[in-house]
């Protein structure tokens, strides 16, 4: 866009950063920018869409709970907001090791939106505006501004695009399909053409959501109750203790009659009928996909979850669908407890436009346009938590770039956020990407309980962590270390521990030992020790968790730290930005093409690119060493 083209619009303001979209990615991006001192404007097609939960009303879950804790440790808002607005809280995977323990909370989705909107409205350096962006002004490969549907122009030095499922959104319900964003809101259509004019290739992904139905029409006596945990564990490290009368969820199952109705109507599904062309998430398929892919499976579970304290609408998790309304009514009514439900909002599938994330650098900036940062489902991911994590990092890096500072990049050994972004940028994704604990090589180090230990100092240096949080963190670190030392120096005799060990099914002591030795026994927890340790200090729930894991898994943690050292050596071997890989003898053609396309920043990143073999990595290492010697001569 040149000056003549800009003059056609009404100039309405100058900002450092414009954030396009106000979902979970947009909120974190806008808050990060504003808190780092850059003047920020966040746009939303509708202000009621701020932090909206168009799909399941929950935050956290397996792997996702780790992301929320990391966002919180860096000074983000998601953890604080869900602690204010949860209806039920549960720690998942508690029968397994601490590396995969994952917190999940049902949210009051309306209240979640309200509380996040309050935070945004009160944030210094941040303005919010209800407007649709239809064009992005780029000149000489540098972002210059944005244009709204009302033909207003806002200049800026950087943007964060976080359009979620609104970009080119299209809803599918059976034979019907129409342009729409989630929850019946308007889609963003003209922005698609603007991105294409900028030479940004787009592709279609798809997701879906189940029906909602009135609580009064369910028969809960026919379902299994799923209560919350007795002890509520907060998401935010700023909260030591939470209390609330929790609302239960309910469990039921499909059956062969459900599956029969679905099979007989496959031809009417938008998914099987060919109307949907976008690629859907493998790990969150529609109910018709489950029945089609697993024909021998007799039943699939579903959860009935509250949407809020002030509404009777219930969310039927695990039952997304693109079937026609009459088929939806019929198959939902075959399920125990759902025989007479009244559906207030039918299930639907939604297609939307997104990019291939291999076009991004690790700071989430589009490689060919300076100041063009991307986050959330626009990058090919799925989920509120994945979106928020990317929004936070994109916002941080937009602010850093404006201030002329080095980018902020978390690697795979430091955070699940690092795993998420590295997977997207280095490997790409052919379907909506979902974080899982199995994706992290160093997951024993990347636990929920120690997210603040790993990341709070980084957030403090960025200016995102407040002084109050920083002092609280330092006090926690001292408390944890002091307690570990106290347990090392507090001894217990065989006589003192005899009855205690019998009660806990543990072997007796042959002689006096430090209390920490009892803690290392898998059958004895830190709280159990209170019976024979009257002098123990009062610890918060977060402090207890870190003390216990540190002691019980010290040996395993040490082994992973050694693995990280090897990993870091490859990560520190930098690759030049302008290196032409076709000129390096010994690299296979596929490797040359992939390396020139993705342009990794280090040998470590190059080693994770699909199509680059260990032999290719050896060639690169030899090449770098040869170049180093040549330059030293």
Instruction: State the Cα–Cα distance between residues 411 and 89, nearest whole angstrom.
Output: 30
Per-residue pLDDT at 296: 94
Mean pLDDT of 293-298: 94
Per-residue pLDDT at 538: 92
CB 519 within 8 A of CB 548: yes
Closest CA to 275 of 164, 349, 381: 349
Better pLDDT: 458 or 566: 458
Q: Which has the minimum average pLDDT: 31-35, 334-338, 535-539?
A: 535-539
Q: What is the pLDDT of residues 56-113, one digit of tens each?
A: 999 999 999 999 999 999 999 999 999 999 999 999 998 888 889 999 999 999 999 9
Residue 131 φ then ψ, to 5°: -160, 150
Total Cβ atoms within 10 A of residue 471: 10
Highest mean pLDDT: which range of 1-15, 397-411, 432-446 = 397-411
Task: Report the share of the chain in percent with pLDDT over 70.
Answer: 100
Strand duo 10-14 + 152-155: pairing:
parallel
CB 442 within 8 A of CB 560: yes
Q: What is the pLDDT of residues 498-508, one digit of tens each?
A: 999 999 999 99
pLDDT at 633 over 80: no
Q: What is the pLDDT of residues 596-616, one digit of tens each?
A: 999 999 999 999 998 898 899
Task: Report the share of the chain in percent with pLDDT over 90.
Answer: 89
Per-residue pLDDT at 256: 97
**Position 509 confidence tier, pLDDT thresholds 50, 70, 90:** very high
Q: Which has the minimum average pLDDT: 377-386, 415-424, 540-549?
A: 540-549
Q: What is the pLDDT of residues 328-382, one digit of tens each?
A: 999 999 999 999 999 999 999 999 999 999 999 999 999 999 999 999 999 999 9
Per-residue pLDDT at 335: 98
Per-residue pLDDT at 611: 87
Residue-range domains of the chain with CATH: 3-204+354-442 (3.50.50.60), 212-351 (2.40.30.260), 467-561 (1.10.10.1800), 572-632 (1.10.150.570)
Mean pLDDT of the chain: 95
Query: CA dihedral in degrees (298, 300, 301, 305; nearest 10)?
Result: -140
Per-residue pLDDT at 431: 94
**Position 535 confidence tier, pLDDT thresholds 50, 70, 90:** confident
Instruction: State the Cα–Cα distance between residues 476 and 456, nearest whole angstrom.
Output: 12
Per-residue pLDDT at 331: 98
| Angle, helix 541-552 to helix 554-571, in steps of 10 degrees | 90
Closest CA to 455 of 517, 408, 402: 408
Instruction: State the Cα–Cα distance between residues 27 and 162, nearest whole angstrom.
Output: 9
């Amino acid at each position: 866009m040149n000056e003549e083209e800009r003059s056609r619009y009404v100039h309405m303001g100058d900002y450092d950063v414009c954030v396009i979209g106000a979902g979970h990615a947009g909120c974190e991006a806008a808050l990060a920018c504003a808190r780092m001192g850059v003047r920020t404007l966040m746009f939303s097609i509708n202000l009621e869409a701020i932090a909206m939960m168009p799909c399941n009303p929950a935050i956290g879950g397996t792997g996702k709970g780790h992301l929320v804790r990391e966002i919180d440790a860096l000074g983000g808002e998601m953890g604080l907001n869900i602690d204010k607005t949860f209806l039920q809280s549960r720690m998942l995977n508690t029968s397994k090791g601490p590396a995969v323990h994952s917190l999940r909370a049902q949210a009051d989705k309306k209240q979640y939106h309200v509380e996040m909107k309050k935070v945004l409205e009160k944030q210094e350096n941040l303005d919010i505006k209800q407007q649709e962006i239809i064009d992005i002004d780029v000149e000489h490969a540098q972002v210059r501004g944005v244009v709204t549907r009302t033909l207003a122009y806002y200049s800026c030095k950087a943007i964060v695009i976080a359009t979620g499922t609104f970009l080119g959104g299209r809803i599918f319900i059976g034979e019907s399909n129409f342009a729409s964003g989630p929850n019946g809101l308007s889609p963003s259509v003209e922005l698609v053409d603007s991105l294409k004019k900028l030479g940004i290739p787009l592709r279609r992904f798809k997701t879906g959501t189940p029906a909602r139905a009135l609580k009064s029409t369910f028969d809960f006596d026919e379902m299994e109750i799923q209560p919350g945990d007795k002890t509520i564990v907060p998401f935010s490290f700023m909260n030591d203790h939470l209390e609330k009368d929790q609302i239960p969820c309910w469990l039921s199952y499909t059956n062969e009659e459900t599956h029969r109705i679905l099979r007989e109507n496959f031809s009417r599904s938008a998914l099987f009928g060919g109307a949907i062309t976008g690629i859907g998430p493998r790990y969150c398929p529609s109910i018709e996909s489950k029945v089609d892919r697993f024909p021998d499976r007799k039943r699939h579970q579903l959860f009935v979850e509250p949407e809020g304290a002030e509404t009777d609408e219930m969310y039927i998790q695990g039952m997304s669908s693109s079937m026609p309304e009459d088929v939806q009514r019929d198959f939902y009514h075959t399920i125990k407890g759902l025989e007479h439900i009244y559906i207030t909002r039918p299930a639907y599938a939604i297609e939307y436009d997104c990019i291939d994330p291999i076009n991004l650098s690790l700071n989430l900036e589009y490689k060919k346009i300076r100041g063009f940062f991307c986050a959330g489902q626009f990058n090919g991911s799925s989920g509120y938590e994945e979106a928020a994590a990317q929004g936070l990092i994109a916002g941080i890096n937009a602010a850093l770039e404006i201030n002329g500072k080095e980018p902020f990049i978390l690697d795979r050994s430091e955070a699940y956020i690092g795993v998420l972004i590295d997977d997207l940028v280095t490997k790409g994704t052919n379907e909506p990407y979902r974080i899982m604990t199995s994706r992290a090589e160093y997951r024993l180090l990347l636990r929920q309980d120690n997210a603040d230990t790993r990341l709070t100092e980084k957030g403090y240096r960025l200016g995102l962590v407040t002084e109050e949080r920083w002092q609280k963190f330092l006090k926690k670190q001292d408390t944890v270390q002091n307690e570990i030392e106290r347990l090392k120096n507090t001894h217990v005799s065989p006589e003192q521990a005899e009855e205690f060990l019998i009660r806990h099914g543990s072997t007796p002591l042959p002689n006096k030992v430090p209390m920490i030795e009892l803690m290392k026994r898998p059958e004895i927890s830190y709280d159990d020790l209170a019976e024979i340790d009257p002098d123990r200090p009062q610890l918060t729930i977060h402090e207890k968790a870190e003390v216990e894991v540190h002691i019980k898994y010290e040996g395993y943690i040490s082994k992973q730290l050694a693995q990280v050292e090897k990993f870091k050596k490859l990560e520190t071997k930098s690759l030049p930005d302008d290196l032409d890989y076709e000129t390096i003898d010994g690299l296979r053609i596929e490797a040359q093409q992939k390396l020139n396309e993705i342009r990794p920043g280090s040998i470590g990143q190059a080693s994770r690119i699909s199509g680059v073999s260990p032999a290719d990595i050896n060639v690169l290492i030899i090449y770098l060493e040869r170049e180093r010697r040549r330059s030293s001569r």
